[in-house]
């Protein structure tokens, strides 16, 4: 259920113009300081995950691994996406809250 909330929030953020999608746009958003958080799907390549993890650590941007490329792309009304950057503080806070709840519920807490 929480997964649907996360995907719905991504759709709302996209409609509001607060999502940068795709590796190039996400990369640029992080480096320009526009990205408040980054989402990378679980089925992204190890190279992609490592690259964004290192970049986000360097630029101090929270990164979360969630869903699949297809789910993330579908949520924002596009094709498969291997990364998303959220550029709005409010959307990011809400997404982080739901992502952490989702992670805690899957760990059996």
For the chain, 109 residues long, give each residue's pLDDT as a single digit of tens: 588 999 999 999 999 999 999 999 999 999 999 999 999 999 999 999 999 999 999 999 999 999 999 999 999 999 999 999 999 999 999 999 999 988 887 665 4
Within a domain: residue 108?
no
Within a domain: residue 49?
yes
CATH number at residue 55: 3.30.1330.30
Specify whether the CB–CB gap between 13 and 106 falls below 8 A: no
Nearest CA to 64 among 24, 95, 33?
A: 95
Instruction: Please tell me whether residue 89 adopts helix, strand or coil conformation.
Output: helix
Our measurement of the distance from residue 79's CA atom to the centroid of its chain's CA atoms, rounded to an integer in Å, reads 15
Within a domain: residue 29?
yes
State residue 1's pLDDT score.
Answer: 59
Q: Give the structural domain span for 67.
A: 2-102
**Residue 25 C-beta-side C-alpha neighbours within 13 Å:** 13
Counted domains in the chain: 1
Task: Go through the chain and tell me how many residues it has.
Answer: 109
Within a domain: residue 80?
yes
Within a domain: residue 107?
no
């Amino acid at each position: 259920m929480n997964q649907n909330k996360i995907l719905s929030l991504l759709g709302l953020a996209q409609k509001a113009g607060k999502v940068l999608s795709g590796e190039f746009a996400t990369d640029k958003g992080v480096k320009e300081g526009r990205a408040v958080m980054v989402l990378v799907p679980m089925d992204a390549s190890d190279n992609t995950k490592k690259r964004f993890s290192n970049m986000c650590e360097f630029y101090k941007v929270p990164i979360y691994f969630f869903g699949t490329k297809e789910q993330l792309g579908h949520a924002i009304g596009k094709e498969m996406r291997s990364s998303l950057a959220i550029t709005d503080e409010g959307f990011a806070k809400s997404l982080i809250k739901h992502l952490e709840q989702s992670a805690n519920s899957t760990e059996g807490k």
